[in-house]
C-alpha cells in the first residue's frame, strides 16, 4: 500500500480548488435537511460547542487541579474517567480516559497511528498535525525527531513512552509542573498548560519572571 | 486479501516533518466545520457505528491525497449512498430527488449538549475471565486481517507485555462488519523499540504501546 503514501498527506490540497468543497458540503447539507435527517440548528450548535465550549482549556484545568491537589492527582491516575467527570468534562471521545504523568525520567506522548483518536472532552478537536501522516507515521518510531519538530529536546536519559490509541481508550498527558511556579494559584497554573503539552509534544514552560526581557 | 486500508501509517517512511500549529487553529476553510457537524449529526441518527465509519474512511481509494475533513465528508457520502439515504444525482445537484429513507432519530439543537456529554461508551459486561494478566508476555497476531481491524501493521507478530487490563469493550473488527458488538477483553500491550524496529534501528530510549483486543493476542511463551 506504500504507493498510496506519497507526500500529499499533510495539508496543501485543502486550498487547491477554492469553492469546490464549499459547494459540495452545501449541496449535501441542503439534501439532508430536505430529507429531514438533520436539524440545521443542531449543526450550528455542534460547531459552536467545539469552537467555544470544548477545548484544551478543559484539560488545562484538569492538569492544574492535579498539580495543586494531591488527592485529585491520585484519583486522576487511578480512575481518570471519574476524576475528569467530577470537573464536568464527559462524553464523546472521552468515555474511557487514562491519565499518564510526565517526570524527569519518563516523557509520555500520544498518537493514533490508524486515524485521529483524541480526547475531545478535555482537549477539544485535534489539531491538523495530530491527524497528519507525518505525525502518525513517525511518532511511534522517531518520537525524538517529532519532538524536535516542536522545538522540544529531552535528555537522552529521559525515557519516551508513546501511547498509540488503537481502541476507544483516550490518553491525557499530565505535563511536569515547571519549577518556579510554587506560589501560583490553580487558575494561574491552568493558564500555563498548553494543548501540545497534554498530547506530549511540548513541555510546559515556566512563566517569564517579572521584569525580565521576555 | 481484498480489504485494503490506507490508514495504517505507524512506522511508515517518507512523510517528512510535522508542522505545528497555534492552539486555536482548528479549521482551514469555512466548509470544514460544516463537514464536521454533518458527520456528527448523521452519526447521531444511528444509521451506522463508529467502526463502520472508520472502515469506510480508511478504504477511500484516494485517502492519501485527501485532507482530514475531505476524508470525513467522502466517507459520510459513501455511508449514506450505501444505505439509500442519498443518491449520486442528489449529491451533484444539492436537490432532493428521491424519497427520504427513515432514520432512527434526528439530533435536535436543544439536545446537542446532552448527546455529546453522554457519548457512546464501549465498555460492556465481561464475557468471562480475562485470558491475560498484567505483566504477562504476549505475541500479537501475525499477518493482516482481511477486514477493518485496530491491530496496526507495525506490531503484528511482535512480542510485548500486558500493561493494563481495560475491561471488556465492543470489538471493533466485528462491529465494523455489522456482526454485532461481540465484546472482548481489551489490554494495553507495551513493546520495546528493538522488538518493533530491529536491533539496527537508531536508539531513542523508547517504549510504545497499543490497545489490543484479546483475539489479537496469543501467549508469548
Question: What confidence tens digit (pLDDT) does each residue in B116-164 have?
Answer: 999 999 999 999 999 999 999 999 999 999 999 999 999 999 999 999 9
Given this model, what pLDDT does residue A208 score? 76
Given this model, what pLDDT does residue A10 score? 43
> How many CB atoms are located within 10 Å of the residue A40 CB?
14
Given this model, what pLDDT does residue A209 score? 66
Chain B contact set for A200 (CB, 8 A): none
Given this model, what pLDDT does residue A4 score? 40
Low-confidence ranges of chain A (pLDDT < 70): 1-18, 209-214
Distance from the Cα of B175 to chain A's closest Cα (Å) equals 12
Chain A contact set for B57 (CB, 8 A): 115
Given this model, what pLDDT does residue A56 score? 97
Judge whether A117 counts as a catalytic residue: yes
Q: Do A160 and B205 touch (CB under 8 A)?
A: yes
Judge whether A116 counts as a catalytic residue: yes
Given this model, what pLDDT does residue A146 score? 98
CB of B18 within 8 A of CB of A149?
yes
Given this model, what pLDDT does residue A1 score? 35
ipTM reported for the complex, 2 dp: 0.97
CB of B57 within 8 A of CB of B30?
no
Judge whether A86 counts as a catalytic residue: no
Cell triple for B213: 483486543
Distance from the Cα of B144 to chain A's closest Cα (Å) equals 12
Given this model, what pLDDT does residue B201 score? 87
Low-confidence ranges of chain B (pLDDT < 70): none
Rounded CA-CA distance B24/B21 in Å is 8
Residue ranges with strand state E in A102-179:
106-111, 159-164, 169-174
Identify the DSSP state of A201: S
Residue B186 to residues A56, A77, A95, B183, Cα–Cα distance (Å): 27, 19, 15, 9
Given this model, what pLDDT does residue A18 score? 54
Computed on alpha carbons and rounded to an integer, the radius of gyration of chain B in Å comes to 20
Given this model, what pLDDT does residue A210 score? 57
Catalytic, out of A16, A86, A116, A137? A116
> How many CB atoms are located within 10 Å of the residue B97 CB?
12
Q: Do B64 and A10 touch (CB under 8 A)?
A: no
Amino acid at each position: 500500500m506504500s504507493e498510496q503514501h506519497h507526500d500529499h498527506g499533510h495539508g496543501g490540497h485543502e486550498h487547491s480548488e477554492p469553492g469546490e468543497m464549499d459547494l459540495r458540503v452545501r449541496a449535501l447539507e441542503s439534501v439532508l435537511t430536505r430529507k429531514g435527517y438533520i436539524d440545521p440548528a443542531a449543526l450550528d450548535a455542534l460547531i459552536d460547542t467545539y469552537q467555544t465550549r470544548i477545548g484544551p482549556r478543559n484539560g488545562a484545568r484538569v492538569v492544574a487541579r492535579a498539580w495543586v491537589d494531591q488527592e485529585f492527582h491520585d484519583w486522576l491516575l487511578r480512575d481518570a474517567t471519574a476524576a475528569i467527570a467530577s470537573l464536568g468534562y464527559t462524553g464523546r471521545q472521552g468515555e474511557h480516559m487514562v491519565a499518564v504523568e510526565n517526570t524527569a525520567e519518563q516523557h509520555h506522548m500520544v498518537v493514533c497511528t490508524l486515524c485521529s483518536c483524541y480526547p475531545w472532552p478535555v482537549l477539544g478537536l485535534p489539531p491538523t498535525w495530530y491527524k497528519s501522516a507525518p505525525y502518525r507515521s513517525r511518532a511511534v518510531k522517531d518520537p525524538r525527531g517529532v519532538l524536535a519538530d516542536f522545538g522540544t529536546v529531552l535528555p537522552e536519559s529521559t525515557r519516551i513512552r508513546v501511547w498509540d490509541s488503537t481502541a476507544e481508550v483516550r490518553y491525557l498527558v499530565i505535563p511536569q509542573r515547571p519549577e518556579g511556579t510554587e506560589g501560583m494559584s490553580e487558575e494561574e497554573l491552568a493558564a500555563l498548560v498548553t494543548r501540545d503539552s497534554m498530547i506530549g509534544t511540548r513541555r510546559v514552560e515556566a512563566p517569564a519572571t517579572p521584569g525580565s526581557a521576555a | 486479501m481484498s480489504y485494503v486500508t490506507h490508514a495504517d501509517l505507524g512506522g511508515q517512511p517518507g512523510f517528512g516533518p510535522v508542522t505545528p500549529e497555534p492552539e486555536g487553529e482548528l479549521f482551514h476553510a469555512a466548509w470544514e466545520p460544516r463537514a464536521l457537524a454533518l458527520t456528527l449529526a448523521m452519526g447521531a441518527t444511528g444509521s451506522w457505528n463508529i467502526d463502520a465509519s472508520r472502515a469506510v474512511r480508511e478504504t477511500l481509494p484516494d485517502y492519501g491525497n485527501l485532507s482530514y475533513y475531505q476524508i470525513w465528508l467522502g466517507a459520510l457520502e459513501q455511508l449514506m449512498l450505501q444505505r439509500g439515504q442519498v443518491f449520486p444525482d442528489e449529491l451533484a445537484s444539492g436537490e432532493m430527488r428521491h424519497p427520504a429513507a427513515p432514520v432512527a432519530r434526528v439530533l435536535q439543537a436543544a439536545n446537542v449538549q446532552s448527546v455529546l456529554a453522554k457519548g457512546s461508551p464501549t465498555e460492556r459486561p465481561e464475557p468471562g475471565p480475562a485470558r491475560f494478566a498484567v505483566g504477562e508476555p504476549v505475541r500479537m497476531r501475525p499477518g493482516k486481517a482481511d477486514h477493518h481491524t485496530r491491530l496496526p501493521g507495525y506490531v503484528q507478530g511482535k512480542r510485548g507485555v500486558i500493561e493494563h487490563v481495560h475491561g471488556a469493550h465492543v470489538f471493533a473488527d466485528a462491529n465494523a462488519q455489522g456482526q454485532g458488538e461481540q465484546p472482548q477483553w481489551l489490554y494495553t500491550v507495551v513493546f520495546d523499540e528493538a522488538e518493533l524496529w530491529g536491533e539496527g534501528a537508531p536508539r531513542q530510549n523508547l517504549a510504545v504501546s497499543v490497545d489490543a483486543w484479546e483475539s489479537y493476542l496469543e501467549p508469548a511463551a
